[in-house]
Amino acid sequence: MTTTGFCTHPAMIEHDTGPHHPERPDRLRAVLRAVRLAGLITSPDPFPDFQMDFGAVVQATRPLIELEAAPIDPRWIELVHSRDYIDRVRQISLAGGFLDQGDTPVMRRSFAAALLSAGCVQQCVDAVMDGRVKRAFAAVRPPGHHAEPDRPMGFCLFNNIAIAARYLQQHHQIRRLAIVDFDVHHGNGTQACFENDAEVLSISLHQDPRTCYPGSGMGWEIGLGRGRGYTVNVPMDPGSDDSDYLRVMDSRVIPELEEFSPQFLLISAGFDAHRDDPLADMQMSEEGFGLMTRSLVAMADRHCQGRIVSALEGGYNLRALGRSVVSHLMALNA
């Protein structure tokens, strides 16, 4: 029987981008409500007034283990971003403004929310490494995968998954790890962190960059120097559905992972390839995210004692997001 952890914190809604921004506080409310409706977590709902009809939700046979959240110590962020960068994010947040030409608004509480976001992923890593759980999911915002070492981008302040990867290497003596990013947008920030690195295999599945933000992640981007071959970009045609994604998992993603044989798997779990998502043009269903997760779980069971930490990235239709996270969690907890 698998134990799966779950880490979140209600204060991440205080990064208040406003009701009309796609990456808005209600995303977290929706995820937490859907996960409760599925019986995956049982603690009291911190947002009882939030209204949303999720339709029929599958029921978990056993709940997740709720992990304590904590903000990350900024010295761990320095494994990925410079101290100057961290100070800049702090100062612009305190003053209120934009980090990325209008895309990424920040306000007084954004810096604290970003520390919690990276901190929840870190707590998940610790819980897996000390054996309290086999896998874990961090329900967090702001997301991270567009944030480059010296550039905040696309709603992302700190690159949560990249920080977790470096933390695993520095603090937990994991050398060889893999990152799979199935958010519909290219994980350009994560690529920028590891493109020279042969010990981190970084795989991103995303909508064809000629048709979608941020415009990078072409198939020929395969890493640099000794990292050549350890960055894998798989552009997907607009309109791709569950069967297209599962075919690419079988033919590209899983074989790359099998050959690399990681000691730990990190997932940048964005759910914006869902057919109802307003920011992209894909046709995935929530079941598709569950099936994709299942094949990653099977790989992890074969190569890395099942160790997976997954962190929320995008997903902007609230109902689809909540239901897709449930499907992902059911597969992690199977």
Active site members:
146
- Please give the residues from 239 up to 258 whose contact with Zn ion meets the rule CB under 5 A: none
Contact assessment for residue 134 and residue 93, using Cβ atoms and an 8 Å cutoff: no
Q: Which is nearer to Zn ion, 71 or 144 (CB)?
A: 144
| Residue 145 CB, nearest approach to Zn ion (Å) | 8
Q: How many chain residues are in contact with Zn ion, going by CB under 5 A?
A: 5
CB-neighbour burial class of residue 251 (10 A; exposed 0-12, middle 13-18, buried 19+): exposed
- The answer to the question of residue 217 lying near Zn ion (CB under 5 A) is no
Q: Which is nearer to Zn ion, 185 or 307 (CB)?
A: 185
- The answer to the question of residue 314 lying near Zn ion (CB under 5 A) is yes
Nearby residues of 298 by Cβ (< 8 Å), 6 or more positions away: none
- The answer to the question of residue 189 lying near Zn ion (CB under 5 A) is no
Q: Which is nearer to Zn ion, 5 or 270 (CB)?
A: 270
Q: With CB under 5 A as the contact rule, which of the stretches 41-49, 94-102, 116-124, 269-277 interacts with Zn ion?
A: 269-277
Nearby residues of 54 by Cβ (< 8 Å), 6 or more positions away: 33, 34, 37, 319, 322, 323
Strands 135-138 and 97-98 turn out to be: unpaired
Which of 272, 285, 300, 330 is the binder for Zn ion (CB under 5 A)? 272
Q: Which is nearer to Zn ion, 33 or 206 (CB)?
A: 206
- Please give the residues from 145 up to 184 whose contact with Zn ion meets the rule CB under 5 A: 183
- The answer to the question of residue 277 lying near Zn ion (CB under 5 A) is no
Q: Which residue is nearest to Zn ion (CB)?
A: 314
